[in-house]
Amino acid sequence: MLKSILPFFRLVIAGFVMAREGVFGLASLPDTPPAARLALRIIRLVERRGVQKKDAAARLTDALNRLGPSYIKLGQFLATRPDVVGREAAKELSSLQDNVPAFDTNHARATIEDQFGVKVEELFEEFGEPIAAASIAQVHTAQIRTPSGELEKVAVKVLRPGVERRFQRDLQSFYLAANFVERFVPASRRLRPLAVVDTLARSVAVEMDFRMEAAALSEMAENIKEDPNFKVPQVNWPRTSRSILTMEWIDGIKLTNLEAVENSGHNLPELGNHVIQSFLRHALRDGFFHADMHQGNLFVQDNGTLVAVDLGITGRLDVAERRFLAEILYGFITRDYRRVAEVHFEAGYVPSNQDVDVFAQAIRAIGEPIHGHDASEISMARLLTQLFEVTELFDMHTQPQLIMLQKNMVVVEGVARTLNPHLDMWRTADPVVRTWIQSNLGPGGKISDLASSIGVLSRMATSLPILADRAARLSGDLESMAHHGLRFDEKTAEAIGKAEARHSRSGRWALWVIAASLAALAYSQIV
C-alpha cells in the first residue's frame, strides 16, 4: 500500500515545488484551450507573491536540482527553447547542462576501485578533480601511460552514487501520472503517455550503463569516419566498465559559450547549419543518431570540427522509417503537401478511415507559414500547438519508435537557432534530404533494393528443403491425430495426472472449509 502511495505524494510535491516557484508562469503557449488556461490560473494561485520572471527562472534551476535527475533532463530540454520559456529562463536553465553540483572525488575513486578491483593509481598515472558534472555522471581529467611510454590525457566519466535508485523513484511517479492521464483524459490516449514513459525508462537504463555508451561511440565513429568536420571521442576500452567510461580528451569550445566560439573566429550561422545537417545525415543515412544533442554536449575545435560527446542516449530508425522521414521532409521542402499526406497514410501514422485530401489541406496550413520566413519571424510554440491540434483532429497516434527522433529534432533546431537566429530549417535540410532521396529512392536505390530482394530469395531457396521436410512431418502428425485422436507421451500423461490429483485434493479441502464455515455460521445463529 505504501509503495503505491509514495509515488503519488512525490508527484504532488514536485508539482507544488514548481508551482510555488512560478514554473507554470514561465511558458505562455498561444491557442491554449480554455480548460487548460483555467487550470494554469488555479495552479498559479500558489505562487510566491512578487515573483518576477527572472527570479522564477533562477529558482527553477534550484527546484529541478532538488527534484532529481529526471527533472534536470526536462530542464535541459527547455533550455533549447527560448521561444517557449523566454530568453531569461532559457539562459538560466542552460546552467543545468554543466553546472550541476559535483560529488566528492573520493566517491569517484571508490567507484573506480570497486569496478576494476585495483587501486586508481594502477589504472591512471594521475587522476584529477571533476571538471564537469551533470545529472547522471561527472567527468574527471586523468592521464594514462601509453604502450610507447608517453603520457596521454583522457576524460573519465563516473556514474553518480545512488543515481539509479533516484531515477527508479522518479519513474514510478511518471508512470502514475501517465496512467492517470490515459484513464481520465481520453484525448491523450493517442499520444500514448505510458509508451513515452516506457521509452524514457529504457533510455535511462541504457544511459546509466557506460558500456552501452562506449559501444555507441564506437559505432558512430565508424559511421562518420568519412564525414567532414564531425567526430566523437575514441574509447579507451581497458579502462571502461558499467559505471566508468574512459575516452579521448577533447580540446575545444563548448557551444554553451557562444561568445568564446565567436571570438575564436568561427562562423556561427555556418556552424548552426552544420549542426542541423550532421544530425539529419546520421538519422537518414545511418539510421543511428545522437539523441541528446544539446549545447552542453557539443564542442567546436580550432579547425571547425564539431565534436559530439555524451552518447548515453541514442536513437535508431529502420530503413522504412528513414524513407518515410525523408519523403515527409522533402515534401515540406518542395511544398508537395499531397505527397506528405500520402506518406503519413502509407506509414500508418494516420488511420485509413481519414480523408487524405483533407489531411493534405491541414498539413499545408502548417507548412506554408514556414516558407519564406526565417526562425526569428516564426513562433515555434504556435506551430507545435497547431500540429497537436491537427493530430488530434485526425485521430493520429504517437509512434513510440519516433518519440526520440521528434524530441531531438526540436533540440537540434533549438541549438542551431542559438548559433543562427535567422535559420531557415528547410533550406538548410534540403541538400542532405535531397542527396538521400536521390541515392535511395532513385535508380541507384531501386538497384540496391533489387539486390537485397535477390539475397532474401536466395536465402529462402536454400531453406526450402528444410521447410518442406518440416511441413511433411507436420502434415503427417495432423493426419495421425485425425485418425487416432490426440496422444500424449508417458511423461506428459504422468504430469497431467499429478496436476489433476492436486486439483482434486485442493477441491476437497475447499469443500471441507466451506462446509465448516457454514456449520459454524448455523451454530452461531442457533446459539
Residues that are catalytic: 292
Q: Are strands 230-231 and 306-308 parallel, antiparallel or unpaired?
A: parallel
- What is the DSSP annotation of 142-211? EEEE-TTS-EEEEEEEEEPTTHHHHHHHHHHHHHHHHHHHHHH-GGGGGG-HHHHHHHHHHHHHHHT-HH
Q: Are 234 and 252 in contact (CB under 8 A)?
A: no
**Would you call 310 exposed, middle or buried from its count of C-beta atoms within 10 A (0-12, 13-18, 19+)?**
buried
Q: How many CA atoms lie within 13 A of 504 on its CB side?
A: 6
Rounded distance between C-alpha atoms, residue 50 and residue 55, angstroms? 9
- Residue 299 pairs in a beta bridge with 254, 307
**Which letter does DSSP use for residue 41 in this model?**
H
DSSP-based three-state secondary structure for 140 = strand
Rounded distance between C-alpha atoms, residue 332 and residue 325, angstroms? 11
Q: Where do we find the cell 531515477?
A: 167
Q: Are 140 and 46 in contact (CB under 8 A)?
A: no
**Set of cell numbers at residue 370:** 514556414
Helix 425-440 / helix 319-334 crossing angle, nearest 10 deg: 130
**Set of cell numbers at residue 186:** 481520453
Q: Which of 411, 412, 398, 408 is nearest to 198 (CA)?
A: 398
Phi, psi of 262, deg, nearest 5:
-70, -40
Rounded distance between C-alpha atoms, residue 142 and residue 244, angstroms? 13
Rounded distance between C-alpha atoms, residue 1 and residue 484, angstroms? 54
Helix 337-347 / helix 356-367 crossing angle, nearest 10 deg: 120
Strands of 253-254's sheet in order across: 230-231, 306-308, 298-300, 253-254
Q: Are 201 and 194 in contact (CB under 8 A)?
A: no
- The contacts found for 80-84 with CB under 8 angstroms, 24 or more apart, are 80/294, 80/295, 80/410, 80/411, 80/414, 80/415, 80/418, 81/380, 81/410, 81/414, 82/414, 82/418, 83/379, 83/380, 83/381, 84/27, 84/29, 84/380, 84/381
